[in-house]
Amino acid sequence: MKDTDLMPFGRYEGTPMQGVPASYLDWLHGKMTSPSQVLHSDAHRVLAYIDANRNVIDKELKEQGRIE
């Protein structure tokens, strides 16, 4: 996925990926990697986007004081 691709599901469905809050992407990553979680058909694309952008997500979370 690219930053301009739309979030395919969830609370931010239809929002460009670059506009989805880092805290939501971080939370979603945890939920989607849980063994009991039923995944949306586009989950693998979203997970790959989160993994590829982990440094940007973590930077935003640090700036917000959510992680050290």
Task: For the chain, give every domain's residue range.
Answer: 1-68
Could you tell me the pLDDT band of residue 20, with boundaries at 50, 70 and 90?
very high
pLDDT over 70 (residue 66): yes
What pLDDT does 22 receive? 97
State the sign of the Cα–Cα–Cα–Cα dihedral 51, 56, 58, 64. negative
**Which residue, 25, 28, 3, is CA-closest to 16?**
3
